[in-house]
Amino acid sequence: MPKVTDEHRTARRSQIVEAARRCVIAQGFHKTTMADVIKESGLSAGAVYSYFKSKEELVAAIADEALGSVDQVFRAILASAEPVTPVNALRTALEYVVTAAEGPEGDVTRVGVQAWAEALHNEAIYATASSKYALLRGYFVDVADRAKADGTIAADADSQQVAQVLFGLIPGFVLQRLILGDVTPAGYTAGLAALIR
Amino acid sequence: MPKVTDEHRTARRSQIVEAARRCVIAQGFHKTTMADVIKESGLSAGAVYSYFKSKEELVAAIADEALGSVDQVFRAILASAEPVTPVNALRTALEYVVTAAEGPEGDVTRVGVQAWAEALHNEAIYATASSKYALLRGYFVDVADRAKADGTIAADADSQQVAQVLFGLIPGFVLQRLILGDVTPAGYTAGLAALIR
Amino acid sequence: MPKVTDEHRTARRSQIVEAARRCVIAQGFHKTTMADVIKESGLSAGAVYSYFKSKEELVAAIADEALGSVDQVFRAILASAEPVTPVNALRTALEYVVTAAEGPEGDVTRVGVQAWAEALHNEAIYATASSKYALLRGYFVDVADRAKADGTIAADADSQQVAQVLFGLIPGFVLQRLILGDVTPAGYTAGLAALIR
Amino acid sequence: MPKVTDEHRTARRSQIVEAARRCVIAQGFHKTTMADVIKESGLSAGAVYSYFKSKEELVAAIADEALGSVDQVFRAILASAEPVTPVNALRTALEYVVTAAEGPEGDVTRVGVQAWAEALHNEAIYATASSKYALLRGYFVDVADRAKADGTIAADADSQQVAQVLFGLIPGFVLQRLILGDVTPAGYTAGLAALIR
DNA sequence: TATGAATGAGGATTCATTCAT
DNA sequence: CATGAATGAATCCTCATTCAT
């Protein structure tokens, strides 16, 4: 019984998180009520509360997912054998962002932006954001190191600083995409390439 | 009577906005209640509501300010006679951001991040954000044009794309500053400079 | 100074009552706020409150007027030398009601209906309504007496009861006019005439 | 579960409406606060709001009931086989009114008068009042037709007009009963009878 | 005296969470 | 175990009235 129950529990949990995410994408964390999530998930109030003991916990779960989703892909792609220049790394990251944003789950980047705001006043989400972003930015340190190694950038450059910039370009892209709506991975990458040379 | 009254009204309005901003910086838009603002402002409920007819309107006013405050400075500085390279423009912008963030009013960038999230589900704030950010990014188009003119970047570069990148670096800085806490205008600028050559 | 001031005061008072009546006709007693009355009257809050020391007092003044306005006309007309049969008396009364209702002041009968409701929970208005309606109904006792005298109705009829019926027909007319909108003095009177013979 | 739940829901709803009616009878629509209704009903705010989504909706429900309650009885009684003369019909109606008014539920006619006033500025209540009163008055058209048939009134009388008068006598009775307090079905009916002959 | 800005108690409504069935 | 009705504290907002200028 344990295994079946476990799968069942996992499926249920996902069902709730996905429903909640849909609500949050559509209305944001605060306009989304537990009643909305309950209705959207098709479960009962009691059921939802047996998986998440408060709205805060559920919100944290959604935020975690949204903030962390990039990670897996990053690891795979940036750790590949291909020549990973800063520009390529950025493009890959942005392309993933757009793919995720246009996926069938709805635009996860909207949840991400919500999470940024939430992190400022919510310990748990702050902690998640800090650690996930530190991790993510770490990949760009690798990228910077490689770039120094192959002479793409100066050997005495500070890889941390370069990583800050490369990583920092991503929120800027996400925000412009959502609020100004006129950026593309290709164009944005071209902009960076133009600056670099 | 008009003049005194007008000044008075303006002062009162500021008194409210400032109180509200303090609350929002401390707790975010949603945890801030009108009662908080009323208490913090030292006025009565009725008085506050005679200046802002709803919480939404007050929130919009704070968001407007937070999103727009950069503008004035930008105009002055970027339009100066000094040689304005992309790197210099960015540094100036970031220095302003940090100055504002560390000002006596409290860290306005926190309000800015709140506003990003809010813009996704609030027409009025979305409109403000769109227009202010389009304007702001416009300054970087000028910067890019100058850079093309003096050979800092390739003459056939797309100024819009370059501006997207330069402008995009700012939210990335703000976010890292708030969530990772380890970025400085100097370091971030150095990172960009290292990438550029 | 007294006289001028007195006229002035009377004029001001009327100005307020008329403004208030317009508001009440449009929105009812309860949706009408003192702010509405103040704006409509063109005076200041202080001025309005120097004539009526509370909303209740102002409301009472409007109700008084609305409940009592019929009286003057009644006295004049019913006390005339003409042959005043029950049917004629009713018609005259209804014609006056319609005239007043269609007057330039707006439909006063709407205020009357408000006053009925208000009288149930407002001592002052209840007192006014009782006395005005007792007075008004009194005229119909006269009418009944005359009718008994000239054989229009049985000599042993109870004039009070007849007056109750004749007077009672008026609210019924007012209400049907406002809510069903299809009654006229002529038709209603014809209905009574048909019943009588 | 459906059946129990349904009965339960109906009972709860009645519990709320009855509590609200008691409040309205005692204080009128506007002085009655939701807090009053909540306390009087013995339920919680949330419970009350799960049955009526606003005070307006609850008020409309009470008004509906008050305006419509006569109907059922009318239908039964006026449609009976007994000889239904205008005078008898009126008496029956008035007796029902008094019975209802003196019932254990409290004086519903007070709610009715409130509803008249409310109908003037509330679409929903206006609609209810119009349709219920049109219906009610319709019964008196039948009465008039019968009276024409058996010669009680002239064959060429306009039944609509006669119905307007007969129906119109009721509000007049209700109002005099509440405000002057000296009418009885018997006396009022006698007054009409005296006029008729 | 006249003004109208300010007051603040009071009212309607929401919603995260619980727990009896 | 699951359900979803019920809870009630918390929140936004209004408006009659006052009083400093």
Contact C197 D116 (CB under 8 A): no
Q: Express each pLDDT in A151-186 by its tens digit.
A: 999 999 999 999 999 999 999 999 999 999 999 999
What architecture (CATH level 2) is domain B62-196?
Orthogonal Bundle (1.10)
pLDDT of residue C37: 98
pLDDT of residue B101: 94
Domain D65-196 fold is: Tetracycline Repressor; domain 2 (1.10.357)
Distance measured from the CA of protein residue A34 to the C1' of nucleotide F15, in angstroms: 34
Positions in chain F where some atom is under 7 Å from a protein CB: 2-20
The two three-digit tokens of residue C86, written as one number: 């029950």
Structure confidence at residue A1 as a pLDDT band (50, 70, 90): very low
Contact A167 B176 (CB under 8 A): yes
Q: Express each pLDDT in D50-71 by its tens digit.
A: 999 999 999 999 999 999 877 7
The two three-digit tokens of residue A136, written as one number: 């993510």
Contact B120 A133 (CB under 8 A): no
What mean pLDDT do residues B3-19 have?
A: 85
Which other chains touch chain C, taking contact as 3+ CB pairs less than 8 Å apart? Answer: D
How large is the C-alpha radius of gyration of chain A?
19
> E strands within D39-94?
none
Q: Judge whether residue C85 has pLDDT over 60.
A: yes
Question: Do residues D177 and D171 touch, judged by C-beta distance below 8 A?
Answer: no
Q: What is the DSSP string of D160-195?
A: HHHHHHHHHHHHHHHHHHHHT----HHHHHHHHHHH
Of the CATH numbers 1.10.357, 1.10.3470, 3.40.50, 1.10.287, which one belongs to the domain with range A63-196?
1.10.357
Question: Rounded to whole angstroms, how far apart are CA atoms D22 and D42?
Answer: 13
Q: Is the CB of C35 under 7 A from strand F?
A: yes
pLDDT of residue B79: 67
Question: Rounded to whole angstroms, how far apart are CA atoms D92 and D99?
Answer: 10
Question: Do residues C115 and C63 touch, judged by C-beta distance below 8 A?
Answer: yes
The residue length of chain A stands at 197
What are the two backbone dihedrals, phi and then psi, of residue D88, each rounded to the nearest 5 degrees? Answer: -65, -40
Query: In which residue are the tokens 């309650």 written?
Result: D69
The two three-digit tokens of residue C6, written as one number: 């007195």
The nearest CA of chain C is from the CA of D46 a distance in Å of 26
Q: Which of D137, D168, D196 sits opposite C169 (nearest CB)?
A: D168
Contact A30 B30 (CB under 8 A): yes
What contacts D168, CB < 8 A, 6 or more positions away?
Answer: C168, C169, C171, C172, C173, C175, C176, C183, C188
Q: Judge whether residue B174 has pLDDT over 90.
A: yes
Q: Which of D30, D117, D190 sits opposite C158 (nearest CB)?
A: D190
Lowest mean pLDDT of B66-75, C1-10, C133-142, name the range: C1-10
Distance measured from the CA of protein residue C30 to the C1' of nucleotide E5, in angstroms: 24
Nearest nucleotide, C1' to the C-alpha of A58?
E16
Structure confidence at residue D1 as a pLDDT band (50, 70, 90): very low
Question: Rounded to whole angstroms, how far apart are CA atoms B45 and C8?
Answer: 37
Question: B12, exposed or middle or buried, with CB in 10 Å at 0-12, 13-18, 19+?
Answer: middle
Mean pLDDT, chain A, whole residue set: 92
Nearest CA in chain D to C186: D161
User: CB closer than 7 A to strand E: which residues?
Assistant: A 31, 33-35, 45-46, 49, 53-56; B 5, 8, 12, 43-47, 49-50; C 43-47, 49-50; D 32-35, 45-46, 49, 53-56
Long-range contacts of C145-152, Cβ-Cβ distance < 8 Å, separation of 24 or more: C146/C84, C146/C85, C147/C85, C147/C86, C150/C83, C152/C85, C152/C86
- Indicate the helix (H) or strand (E) that contains A31: helix A2-31
Residue nearest to nucleotide F15 (CA to C1'): C33
Question: Rounded to whole angstroms, how far apart are CA atoms D102 and A135?
Answer: 78
Nearest nucleotide, C1' to the C-alpha of D31?
E11
B-chain residues near A137 (CB < 8 A): 176, 180
Question: Rounded to whole angstroms, how far apart are CA atoms A80 and C55?
Answer: 79
The nearest CA of chain C is from the CA of D104 a distance in Å of 19
Q: Express each pLDDT in B77-123 by its tens digit.
A: 766 767 789 999 999 899 999 999 999 989 999 999 999 999 999 99
pLDDT of residue A115: 97
Q: Is the CB of C33 under 7 A from strand F?
A: yes
The two three-digit tokens of residue B173, written as one number: 């800085």
Q: How many CB atoms lie within 10 A of CB A7?
A: 10
Q: Judge whether residue C75 has pLDDT over 90.
A: no
The CA dihedral of D20, D22, D24, D25, to the nearest 10 degrees, is 160
Class of domain C1-53: mainly alpha
Query: In which residue are the tokens 């970025």 written?
Result: B183
Nearest CA in chain A to B182: A164
Q: Is the CB of D46 under 7 A from strand F?
A: yes
pLDDT of residue D78: 66
Going from N- to C-terminal start, the domains of chain C cover 1-53, 63-196
Distance measured from the CA of protein residue B47 to the C1' of nucleotide E5, in angstroms: 8
Distance measured from the CA of protein residue C46 to the C1' of nucleotide F19, in angstroms: 10
Nearest nucleotide, C1' to the C-alpha of C48?
E2
- Indicate the helix (H) or strand (E) that contains B111: helix B108-119
Question: Rounded to whole angstroms, how far apart are CA atoms B25 and B18?
Answer: 10
Q: Which of D31, D126, D165 sits opposite C121 (nearest CB)?
A: D31
**Residue B13 amino acid letter:** R
Helix, coil or strand: residue B122: coil
Question: Do residues A191 and B158 touch, judged by C-beta distance below 8 A?
Answer: yes
pLDDT of residue D79: 66
What are the two backbone dihedrals, phi and then psi, of residue B44, each rounded to the nearest 5 degrees? Answer: -95, 165
Question: Do residues D182 and D176 touch, judged by C-beta distance below 8 A?
Answer: yes
What contacts D184, CB < 8 A, 6 or more positions away?
Answer: D98
Distance measured from the CA of protein residue A46 to the C1' of nucleotide E21, in angstroms: 13
A-chain residues near B27 (CB < 8 A): 121
Percent of chain A's residues with pLDDT above 70: 96
Which residues 42-71 on A are within 7 A of strand F at the CB atom?
A: 43-47, 49-50
Question: Do residues B133 and B69 touch, judged by C-beta distance below 8 A?
Answer: no
The nearest CA of chain D is from the CA of C4 a distance in Å of 39
Question: C99, exposed or middle or buried, with CB in 10 Å at 0-12, 13-18, 19+?
Answer: exposed
Q: Express each pLDDT in C20-69 by its tens digit.
A: 999 999 999 999 999 999 999 999 999 999 999 999 999 999 999 999 87
Structure confidence at residue A69 as a pLDDT band (50, 70, 90): confident
Percent of chain C's residues with pLDDT above 90: 82
Contact A161 B120 (CB under 8 A): no
Q: Judge whether residue A87 has pLDDT over 90.
A: yes
Distance measured from the CA of protein residue D9 to the C1' of nucleotide E2, in angstroms: 58
Q: Is the CB of C34 under 7 A from strand F?
A: yes
The two three-digit tokens of residue D36, written as one number: 């009053």
The nearest CA of chain A is from the CA of B35 a distance in Å of 18
Distance from chain centroid for Cα B175:
13
The nearest CA of chain C is from the CA of D112 a distance in Å of 9
Q: Do chains C and A touch (3 or more CB pairs under 8 A)?
A: no
Which site among A30, A120, A132, A156 would you substitute to test the B interface, given the most B Cβ atoms closer than 10 Å to its Cβ? A120
What are the two backbone dihedrals, phi and then psi, of residue B152, each rounded to the nearest 5 degrees? Answer: -65, -35
D-chain residues near C168 (CB < 8 A): 168-169, 171-173, 175-176, 183, 188
Residue nearest to nucleotide F14 (CA to C1'): B46
Contact C171 D166 (CB under 8 A): no
Question: Do residues C118 and C55 touch, judged by C-beta distance below 8 A?
Answer: no
Question: A161, exposed or middle or buried, with CB in 10 Å at 0-12, 13-18, 19+?
Answer: buried
Q: Do chains A and D touch (3 or more CB pairs under 8 A)?
A: no
What mean pLDDT do residues A123-148 have?
A: 94
Mean pLDDT, chain C, whole residue set: 92
Give the angle subtended at the CA of D50 by the CAs of D46 and D51, to the nearest 5°: 125
Which of C173, B54, D167 has the alpha carbon at shortest distance from B37? Answer: B54
Q: Judge whether residue C70 has pLDDT over 90.
A: no
Q: How many CB atoms lie within 10 A of CB D142?
A: 15
